[in-house]
Amino acid sequence: MIGERGINLSGGQRQRISVARAIYQETNMVFLDDPFSALDVHLSDHLMQEGILKLLRDDKRTVVLVTHKLQYLPHADWIIAMKDGTVLREGTLKDIQNNDPELYEHWKTLMNRQDQEFEKETISESKTVLERKNLRRAMYSREAQLKTQQDEEEEEEELESDDEDDVSSVFRQRAKLPWGAFLRYLTSGGAPLLLLLILSQLLKHSAMVAIDFWLSEWTSDAYNCTGAAQQPNCSHGNGTQALQGCRILCIYPMVFGLLCCSGIALCFITSLTVEWTGLKTARNVHNNMLKRIVLAPMRYFDTTPLGHILNRFSADTNIMDQVRTV
């Protein structure tokens, strides 16, 4: 399975795809920057003969080829030899042979050496191919072939299950967030805002508890005062205490009003603090993420799917903007 933009392709596979795109692109000029570096000798020769010479040169298209394969120099119409970023020699192969015979002899020895290596590899590969064919014909029968087919099917099923496990593991990692991520999110807004947020939350809940406690005290004292006033056979002292308790009941509405006002003010301050902290935190996280993405090396973009990067700036940023997790 080929991932997004070929992130799971090897270097040679990527180079083959790039060369194929350049060859089949209908342009008048084609620039090939060392296309044989990640290919073996046979693939390089096949690419030169069937791709560059047959599909490009015969089609009257200009090809600029950068390579260190000197055996392909006779096919070049114009040669530019460079060394340390400067042009060493320029012209056709015959011009270089006439003007700089030493360089031409050096190239010739290298070309002969590369041709010998190519012949050795072709001979060795042909021998190995023949040996493999003979061994297969001698050793493997029809039952063995069926068995190998069954083994290959089992291996394919195992690979598919491994791929599913990899996908599920990715989703599991996506679903689980470490506690350090929440801590970094809270501290990205700044220490003063975080302390103000914690303090406002504590004061708000303390005010709510104080209001409930004051209401319970108020109702209990009112019940005791009402019961004492309704007793017919109470003494003078008890009646006086009941009247004093009834006078004390006038203090409860004032304190209750002050507690309610303070609770409303603390709720308003807490809401403003939450919104302010969430806005500043989302802005800082977005700016830091954008800075990291801009300064990231190209290797990161080659190995990371583009959808994952876009989700960080779209879905996750929307969650931080719409849903306050503080």
Average pLDDT for residues 130-148, to the nearest whole number?
53
User: In this structure, is residue 306 part of a structural domain?
Assistant: yes
**Which DSSP letter does residue 54 get?**
I
User: In this structure, is residue 299 part of a structural domain?
Assistant: yes
Average pLDDT for residues 54-62, to the nearest whole number?
87
User: In this structure, is residue 267 part of a structural domain?
Assistant: yes
Distance between start and end Cα atoms, the chain: 41
Q: Do residue 12 and residue 127 come from a single domain?
A: yes
Contact (CB, 8 A) for 263 and 213: no
CATH classification of the domain holding 90 = 3.40.50.300
Contact (CB, 8 A) for 310 and 214: no
> 263 falls in which pLDDT band (50, 70, 90)?
confident
Q: Do residue 125 and residue 206 come from a single domain?
A: no
- Domain count for the chain: 2
Domain boundary, last residue among 107, 139, 171: 139
- Is residue 124 pLDDT above 80, yes or no? no
Q: Do residue 29 and residue 135 come from a single domain?
A: yes
CA distance 321 to 312: 13
User: In this structure, is residue 59 part of a structural domain?
Assistant: yes
Instruction: Count other Cβ atoms within 10 Å, centred on residue 207.
Output: 19
User: In this structure, is residue 19 part of a structural domain?
Assistant: yes
Q: Do residue 294 and residue 210 come from a single domain?
A: yes
Question: Where in the sequence is the domain holding 132, given as residue range(s)?
Answer: 4-139
CA distance 37 to 33: 9
CA distance 72 to 107: 11
Q: Do residue 217 and residue 109 come from a single domain?
A: no
Which tens digit of pLDDT belongs to each residue from 293-326?
A: 999 998 888 778 788 888 888 888 888 887 754 4
Alpha helices in the chain (DSSP H): 11-24, 41-46, 93-99, 101-139, 142-175, 179-187, 191-229, 236-248, 251-294, 298-303, 306-313, 315-322
Domain boundary, last residue among 115, 139, 163: 139
User: In this structure, is residue 166 part of a structural domain?
Assistant: no
Which tens digit of pLDDT belongs to each residue from 92-114?
A: 888 888 888 888 888 878 777 76
Task: Give 107's Cβ-side CA count (13 Å radius).
Answer: 19
Domain boundary, last residue among 74, 106, 139: 139
> 226 falls in which pLDDT band (50, 70, 90)?
low
> 145 falls in which pLDDT band (50, 70, 90)?
low
Contact (CB, 8 A) for 194 and 186: yes
Better-scored residue on pLDDT, 7 or 107:
107
Q: Do residue 300 and residue 192 come from a single domain?
A: yes
Q: Do residue 24 and residue 125 come from a single domain?
A: yes
Nearest Cα residue to 47 out of 72, 76, 77: 72
Q: Do residue 38 and residue 132 come from a single domain?
A: yes
User: In this structure, is residue 147 part of a structural domain?
Assistant: no
Which tens digit of pLDDT belongs to each residue from 228-260?
A: 555 554 444 455 555 555 555 567 788 888 888
pLDDT value at residue 114:
63
Mean pLDDT of the chain: 75
pLDDT-wise least confident of 66-70, 91-95, 197-201, 215-219: 215-219
User: In this structure, is residue 95 part of a structural domain?
Assistant: yes
Nearest Cα residue to 31 out of 43, 40, 18, 41: 18
Q: Do residue 208 and residue 296 come from a single domain?
A: yes
